[in-house]
Amino acid sequence: MHWLMLAALLAANTPQAVILRPVSNMYRQPSDDSAVVSQATCGTNVEILEERPGWLRIRTADQYAGWLPAADARRLAAGDKPYASSGAVAQVESLAAHIYQDKDVSLHRPLLTVPFETRLEILGETESNERWLRAHLPDDRLGWVQRGDVSFDIKPLSVDAVIALSRRFLGLPYTWGGASSFGYDCSGFTQMLCRRRGILMPRDASVQAAWEGVVAVDRDSLLPGDLLFFGKNAKHIDHTGMYIGGGQFISATAWIHPMIQIGDLGDPHWSHLLVACRRLK
């Protein structure tokens, strides 16, 4: 899926940039007083749609657009390869990974800390069992990441494996507009789980429910991995989660305890709001 996303970016006849910050908020308007609509994470290649003083309007691989501070991204010159598009590339599999300036966790503070799924360009030998890997960062700095935080072999997961993965995030904070392990919102979390199955789906819950990549299923026919959508009615969806079996689902929610948690469809709150069930094609 990463190669499909990259191909879409390369095909676009627009300027490109790479995100420098661990997580950069995308705003509705070019102001940090505006509403956050999503996020872009370190090493992500994006399209530049518009520029204003101090701001860039960018589009991510899922075709989501928003404004971010220009300092959060590095514009790629014509002919530059997108970041982490060739050579040895590792993906962060820990919920967060420190990048250090030395091969030691105690000498200096980390250069930066990046979230789950961050892709890093790796220099030098990758086949050995050495603890440390040399990383070339999107801002051209060099750092060291521990091998145990990353993987070079990212493949689509089965439904069971995705459900097991989802439980690793339990207790992480709910964050409106969040699209990283530093804080997800409901659709950002579900989108990530589907991405780990090798499926790139839209960003927002209401659009996900209407997306051509899913089919409707009855509540009585739910299987683990199906997507659940909640709201006032089917035209006003404002929450989503993934069914994990046994009448339960996992989601990032602000309800009572704002965090990623397991909900029960037998709970009157959720039972009343469930308006659509979908299965990935």
Residues 251-269 have pLDDT tens digits of 999 999 999 999 999 999 9
What's the confidence (pLDDT) of residue 9?
A: 46
pLDDT category of residue 216 using cuts at 50, 70 and 90: very high
**Least confident stretch, 66-70, 78-82, 132-136, 216-220:** 78-82
Residues 196-212, mean pLDDT to the nearest whole number: 97
Domains 2-75 and 88-151 share a fold: yes
Q: pLDDT tens digits, residue range 3-32?
A: 345 545 444 578 999 999 999 999 999 999
What's the confidence (pLDDT) of residue 14?
A: 87
Residues 192-206, mean pLDDT to the nearest whole number: 97
Class of domain 88-151: mainly beta
pLDDT category of residue 129 using cuts at 50, 70 and 90: confident
Q: Is the pLDDT of residue 78 over 80?
A: yes
What's the confidence (pLDDT) of residue 8?
A: 52
Give the pair of three-digit tokens for residue 177: 């507009």
Phi/psi at 265 (nearest 5 deg)? -70, -10
- Virtual CA dihedral for 46, 51, 56, 60, nearest 10 degrees? -30
Q: Is the pLDDT of residue 172 over 70?
A: yes
> Closest Cα to residue 115, out of 143, 93, 145, 131?
93
Across the chain, what does the average pLDDT equal? 94
Per-domain residue ranges of the chain = 2-75, 88-151, 159-280
CATH number, span 159-280: 3.90.1720.10
Give the pair of three-digit tokens for residue 7: 């191909």
What's the confidence (pLDDT) of residue 79?
A: 87
What's the confidence (pLDDT) of residue 125?
A: 82
Q: Is the pLDDT of residue 57 over 90?
A: yes
Q: Is the pLDDT of residue 246 over 90?
A: yes
2-75, CATH topology level: SH3 type barrels. (2.30.30)
What's the confidence (pLDDT) of residue 186?
A: 98
Residues 219-231, mean pLDDT to the nearest whole number: 98
pLDDT category of residue 242 using cuts at 50, 70 and 90: very high
CB 57 within 8 A of CB 49: yes
**Least confident stretch, 19-23, 64-68, 87-91, 123-127:** 123-127
Residues 73-83, mean pLDDT to the nearest whole number: 94
What's the confidence (pLDDT) of residue 1?
A: 45
